[in-house]
Structure 1
């Protein structure tokens, strides 16, 4: 999925995915508009915030 930092991106998370997110990722989501959708929670956010969310949600390779 390719997008620019200024693009408005919709991210859909199942309830299970949402509950598994680390605290840092949940803080990123708290800055976005979210609503229930047919496949889970839908969040609309700028591309830059999606990149930040992905960085926090992915296990680090350290």
Structure 2
């Protein structure tokens, strides 16, 4: 049985523009999961990532971002 994501509120990074291909994520899902999908294919599959792993991924991106 799969997780229903029909009424999920998705968000994109504030760094993306309307024409950029980007990942979208949904917050506050039950079970400590973070759904991630391709913004070019919103009806396509979503990858479910453990919340702790997602937080570590985002932290590593922020640490690697150029400063200036």
With structure 2 as the length reference, what TM-score do the two structures score? 0.35
* Bigger strand fraction: 1
* Bigger helix fraction: 1
Question: Could you say which structure has the larger radius of gyration?
Answer: 2
* Larger RCO (CA within 8 A; separation ≥ 6): 1
With structure 1 as the length reference, what TM-score do the two structures score? 0.37
